[in-house]
Amino acid sequence: MRIIMKFGGSVLDSPQRIKKIVEIVKSFRINKNTPEIICVISAMYGVTDKIIALSDSLVKSDKRAIKKFIDEMTLVHIELVEGAITNPKLRQQAKNAVLEVMSEFQAVLEGLVLIAEVTPRSLDHILSFGERLMAPIVSYSLKDQDLNSDYFTGKQIGIVTDSNFGEASPLMDTTKFRVNARLVPILQKNIIPVVTGYIAADQHDHVTTLGRSGSDYTATIIAFCINADVVYLWSDVDGLMTADPSIVNGAQVLSEISYNEAAEMVLFGAKYIHPRALEPVMDSNIPIIIRNALNLINPGTTITPVLKVSTNIVKSIISIRNTALIDVGGGGMVGAPGTAASIFQTLAKNKVNIMMISQGPSESSISMILKQDDLGKAITSLELKLLGRVIKHLNVLENVSIVTVVGSGMRGIKGIAGRIFTSIAKNDINVIMIAQGSSELNLAFVVNDDDCEKAVRTLHHEFGLDKVQ
């Protein structure tokens, strides 16, 4: 049995929590027929954000910011070592390991501040130190509890990516070959490897990162490569839920959902998972189990290829707030191939992400939903490039919300849309826009943000989601 256990930054931010995760690893080692375990770790909570913030100071040649930053980072990581590791010898070794990484980190920062430049490549390089500082701490903490362990970077373990710094993708064939060659002998020696999540290297050995929350992705990449039996994502939330519990009192943790359903939910729920993290395991049918390391009584959510028979047609009501609607139109758009392409290209060039689209068959207008924060950029770019030519009008509606009903059971079942919109209408909520993909996995509609919470509660009740799944 091979198990990947990824620990998120939120359960690595105090000595007590580190001890907790060591206990978890130990319990799996002892109780479940001594499986092989690979730990994948994130940086301490907040550290990645702090490194990103520091990069601004580097560009401004602010040398003092480095000193302050290094002092703070050294302090918090050494505190973890001191609180989590009891054996004096191991504690000293862990401290030395942290200080060694820290001095390399400082040297790199001092180099960058001199040239006052942070490129995507050098940003990835400095971001890697968050995870690199954490790996020895977790590994020595495992040793402190008599578990045989060693620590590695994603690069050392063989994860090779393209050179798309900040959002790199693994070169899967090479990665599979290398990870197998490097990881399996370690596992055979009965060692628990602690691997830095999020970071890897390209073919020229430059450090890359897999995008924010990339440790999830590292975990599933490794799982795919060595054909693991299961991936555990440990953090401080219970699992994926039937709705946002801050909106619906009776929201429940979903015990089991499919990969496809999870893919619809992970970007917006309480548990954010890297959007591409499901890909490697979907191809190889490896289940993911989301667990709360601080609430072991809760069995969490299993994301699985084969669903046990489920009575629930609808699994979850997702709400996405802080969005805006843009409606563009004009007679010239009718029957003119390339209109949609030019609109979306213009937005893409300006790095505006479109979350939802709707166009009626008359083709005279296209409505789209985007993040409220992107609205200014979107309007300016459309106005400069297309208004008066391809498009004749541009209407904007701010403060709208997307409500999405997710569930693979909706496929091919008649009357679901009827139930959704009847109950929404009965509660006096106006629907502004609708989209449903032909996969029928989700149905999304847009309402005024003032109506969002009511819409979510109405549907949660309508589909009986407050009853335990």
234 binds, among Mg ion, ligand ASP, none (CB under 5 to 8 A by kind): none
Contact region with ligand ASP (CB under 6 A), list: 141-149, 161-169, 207-215, 435-443: 207-215
Complex with ligand ASP: residue 9 or 170, whichever CB lies closer: 9
Coil, helix or strand at residue 39: strand
Told to check if 198 binds ligand ASP by CB under 6 A, we report: yes
Q: Which residues inside 379-418 make contact with ligand ASP, applying CB under 6 A? A: none
Told to check if 329 binds ligand ASP by CB under 6 A, we report: no
Half-sphere exposure at residue 165, Cβ-oriented, CA atoms within 13 angstroms: 15
Complex with ligand ASP: residue 43 or 403, whichever CB lies closer: 43
- Interaction pattern, residues 238-277, with ligand ASP; x per rule: CB under 6 A: ----------------------------------------
Minimum distance of ligand ASP from residue 291's CB (angstroms): 16
Complex with ligand ASP: residue 122 or 442, whichever CB lies closer: 122
Complex with ligand ASP: residue 26 or 212, whichever CB lies closer: 212
Distance CA 464, CA 79 (A): 47
Return the structure tokens found at 203: 């073919």
Distance CA 232, CA 32 (A): 14
Distance CA 140, CA 92 (A): 10
Coil, helix or strand at residue 446: strand
Q: Which residue, among 308, 216, 304, has the nearest Cα to 260 in the 3D structure?
A: 304
Minimum distance of ligand ASP from residue 220's CB (angstroms): 12
Give burial (CB, 10 Å; 0-12/13-18/19+) of 249.
exposed
With helix as H, strand as E and coil as C, how does 42-64 read?
A: CCCCCHHHHHHHHHHHHHCCCHH
Contact region with ligand ASP (CB under 6 A), list: 150-158, 209-217, 322-330, 339-347: 209-217
Complex with ligand ASP: residue 24 or 441, whichever CB lies closer: 24
Complex with ligand ASP: residue 217 or 445, whichever CB lies closer: 217
Q: Which residue, among 85, 98, 95, has the nearest Cα to 147 in the 3D structure?
A: 85
* Rg of the Cα atoms in the chain: 24
Q: Which residues inside 126-145 make contact with ligand ASP, applying CB under 6 A? A: 130
Contact region with ligand ASP (CB under 6 A), list: 186-194, 211-219, 237-245, 403-411: 211-219
The answer to whether 163 and 205 are in contact (CB under 8 A) is: no
Contacting positions for Mg ion (CB under 5 A) = 8-9, 42, 213
- Interaction pattern, residues 8-37, with ligand ASP; x per rule: CB under 6 A: -x----------------------------
Query: What b/e readout covers 17-53, taking b as 16+ CB neighbours within 10 angstroms?
Result: bbbbbbebbbebbeeeeeebbbbbbbbbbebbebbee
Give burial (CB, 10 Å; 0-12/13-18/19+) of 349.
exposed
Minimum distance of ligand ASP from residue 10's CB (angstroms): 9
Number of residues that bind ligand ASP (CB under 6 A): 11
Minimum distance of ligand ASP from residue 144's CB (angstroms): 24
Distance CA 270, CA 246 (A): 10
Distance CA 303, CA 280 (A): 13
Complex with ligand ASP: residue 127 or 253, whichever CB lies closer: 127
Return the structure tokens found at 116: 């006052």
* Among 121, 178, 206, 212, contact with ligand ASP (rule: CB under 6 A): 212
154 binds, among ligand ASP, Mg ion, none (CB under 5 to 8 A by kind): none
Minimum distance of ligand ASP from residue 328's CB (angstroms): 34
- Interaction pattern, residues 43-62, with ligand ASP; x per rule: CB under 6 A: x----x--------------
